[in-house]
Amino acid sequence: MFAAKWNELTPAQRAHTRRVLWLLLAYAIVLPPLVWIRANTAIAGYIPMLMAVAAALPVLGIFASWGRYLSDERDEYQQSLALRRIAVATNATMGAAVVWGFLQAFGAMPLVEAYWIPLVWVFIQGFQACVSRSRTAEE
């Protein structure tokens, strides 16, 4: 079943999926030791900044991969779907961030770390992709 789904992907989608999986693996490997070092050692100077950049790099790579995908995709319908998903996810995430920001400023909601914003963006996109695929089952 996985192979069948994999074969339905365009070459650009397969390449993008491979890149994202590698980057997520890198993120899973890099993040725990950084969190442990931050919690258990007294670090100062430029080291925390380097650690923060190291933690962010795989996620930045995922965004770069999205850009590469849009450039590589030769299937115009899939490209239009990806652009639509990005537009919806960006609007929804930015809207949620603005509303949450004001709720936080007025003391109605607790502080949420900014790095949750891209995770919400990715989740909304993934959700849309699942809905889109289920709607285009062969009739």
Partner 1 sequence: MENRLRVLRAERSWSQQDLAERLEVSRQSVNAIETGKYDPSLPLAFRIAELFELPIEEIFVSPARRRSGAI
Q: How many helices (H) and strands (E) does the chain have?
A: 5, 0
Report the distance separating Cα 114 and Cα 12, nearest Å: 30
Q: x/- contact string, 79-118, with partner 1 (CB under 8 A)?
A: -x--------------------------------------
Shortest Cβ distance from residue 83 to partner 1 (Å)?
A: 13
Sign, Cα dihedral of 30, 110, 122, 127: positive
Shortest Cβ distance from residue 10 to partner 1 (Å)?
A: 5
Q: Among residues 104 and 136, whose Cβ is nearest to partner 1?
A: 136
Please give the residues from 66 up to 85 whose contact with partner 1 meets the rule CB under 8 A.
74-78, 80
Torsions phi, psi of 103, nearest 5? Answer: -60, -40
Q: Does residue number 5 form part of the binding site for partner 1 (CB under 8 A)?
A: no
Q: Does residue number 8 form part of the binding site for partner 1 (CB under 8 A)?
A: yes
Report the distance separating Cα 12 and Cα 2, nearest Å: 17
